[in-house]
Amino acid sequence: MVKRTFAALLGFIISFSIYAQELTPQEIQLDKKLSTLKNELLVKASQNKLAIYSSSFTQLRPFIESSALYKLFQSMPKGGLLHCHNGAIVNPNWLIGTAAKYNNCYVYTGKGDNKFIYGQLAVFTKGRAPKDFLPLQQYLKRDKNAAGSIFKLLTLNRSELSDYIDTWVEFEKRFKRIGMLVAYRPFFKEYFQEAFYELVRDNIQHVEIRYGFGKLFDEKDDNYPADTAISDLKMIVAEIQKTYPAFTLKLIYSSFKFLDTTAVSQDLTAAFLLKQKYPELISGFDLVADEATNHTVGYYAPVWNSLPALEKQYGITMPLYLHAGESSTTANTNLVDVPFQFNRRIGHGLNLVYFPDIMQRVKAADNLVEVSPISNQELNYVSDLRNHPARVLIANGVPCSINSDDPGVYGYDGLSYDFWVAFMAWDLDVAKLKKLITNSIIYSSLSEEEKKTALTHLSKEWNNFVVAAYRL
């Protein structure tokens, strides 16, 4: 359990200034600096008549990027990114530019049907591409706005969605549009190398990906096993560690809430087999998909009840990191059904504030809530970030961390934007920032020894950041 791990680590981490809630003199100066920058931004936003708490990310982004606060957060060590998905972690501008380098990459220009949708990118290795697929290179040469058109199809802009449009339907189209491209093994390797470099450039040292194991292919093989993806990812991480030795990766095997218990049980068994082979990389299990239209966490109770027998059979544990409470209504009771005896973290937990007794269970089980402010707002769960449930959770001592969820879908990368909006809206200060950042390592799925190494690095980087910020 995390509590036992935390207790074992407590003596080790308590000496780190990033963990201590009593601020150093330099951190006090940093706190004052952050407060000043925030107040200046509030005045500027008022002058520009910009609603910074309720504007869409697309509208707010230029204002964020022009601010000294954003540049400061870019340089801030952020620890770990604990909640993101493998289909949406790179900057879409990079994705379009890189896809255009492949002669065998196509874009679908037809009206769309059950198989393909307009703007879908795909690589075809054998024979001619299906009808209505145009070579991407040719498509981009048609007019100067072609790349921008693709960008809009790959991203979700809340300000352009009508009230009658199903946000989740539009959201999931973004994943479909790149799925067949990312499954092409040469692009897959470039994709994750770029994703990890984007993270380290934003001072993120650890990442845990909700990973759906699809089928990789290339000219040599139409269906590589999951071992190939793992081997490729390990090689990419090893290459990055030559330059950034502190960088680490874990994968949380992800199945889907639209599957029945039989299919999810099969995926859980597959997760056990992979973790048995790759215990250093596979760390747990989750279910993803829209909570409003798919099966509940409670529906899968027979699957969760099978965990003790499976753990005994395979000789390993399989912690759960369940998405639950990604909703703004009390009708969603997924949090009530979370099997806390197996669960370690909660993805989103937005409606946790409506269930005070469950909030106490979350605290008692020492589960961390993975908060993704921009994603939560862009998917219309929160209209005004000042009303984000995370403010209540943090105030009530529920462990939280800051995450990006699907930044590629919203047109960005890294975590600096999420820290910016959270800081501006949630009355955060340096002490709370330190807690959020430290939580991302303490509640990660790293082993105890890996956490010690990660915390040592984080503390050093934090101290360097504070000194540098103090001198500005």
pLDDT at 21 over 80: no
CA 225/CA 209 separation, integer angstroms: 19
User: Are the beta carbons of 227 and 196 closer than 8 angstroms?
Assistant: no
Residue 411: both structure tokens together: 């047109």
More confident residue, 137 or 163: 137
pLDDT at 232 over 90: yes
| pLDDT (0 to 100) of residue 126 | 79
How confident is the model over 414-425, as a mean pLDDT? 98
| pLDDT (0 to 100) of residue 7 | 61
pLDDT digits (tens, 9 = 90+) for 96-115: 999 999 999 999 999 988 89
336 φ/ψ angles, rounded to the nearest 5 degrees:
-65, -30
Chain-centre distance for alpha carbon 77: 17
CA 76/CA 37 separation, integer angstroms: 15
Burial bucket for residue 3 (CB in 10 Å: 0-12, 13-18, 19+): exposed
| pLDDT (0 to 100) of residue 17 | 62
pLDDT digits (tens, 9 = 90+) for 370-380: 999 999 999 99
| pLDDT (0 to 100) of residue 451 | 97
Burial string for 85-122 (b: 16+ CB within 10 Å, else e) reads: bbbbbbbbbbbbebbbebeebbbbbeeeeeebeebbbb
Please name which of 332, 344, 345, 270 lies closest in space to residue 297, comparing C-alpha atoms.
332
Residues above pLDDT 70, as percent of the chain: 95
| pLDDT (0 to 100) of residue 20 | 72
pLDDT at 384 over 80: yes
Paired sense of beta strands 206-211 and 323-324, if any: unpaired
pLDDT category, 130, cuts 50, 70, 90?
A: very high
More confident residue, 55 or 15: 55
User: Are the beta carbons of 195 and 89 closer than 8 angstroms?
Assistant: yes
| pLDDT (0 to 100) of residue 4 | 54
pTM of the model: 0.96
| pLDDT (0 to 100) of residue 162 | 62
pLDDT digits (tens, 9 = 90+) for 178-212: 999 999 999 999 999 999 999 999 999 999 999 99
How confident is the model over 295-318, as a mean pLDDT? 98
pLDDT digits (tens, 9 = 90+) for 242-256: 999 999 999 999 999
Q: How many CB atoms lie within 10 A of CB 294?
A: 14
| pLDDT (0 to 100) of residue 166 | 86
How confident is the model over 395-424, as a mean pLDDT? 98
| pLDDT (0 to 100) of residue 201 | 98
pLDDT at 468 over 90: yes
How confident is the model over 264-282, as a mean pLDDT? 98
pLDDT category, 168, cuts 50, 70, 90?
A: very high
How confident is the model over 54-78, as a mean pLDDT? 97
On average, the pLDDT of the chain sits at 95
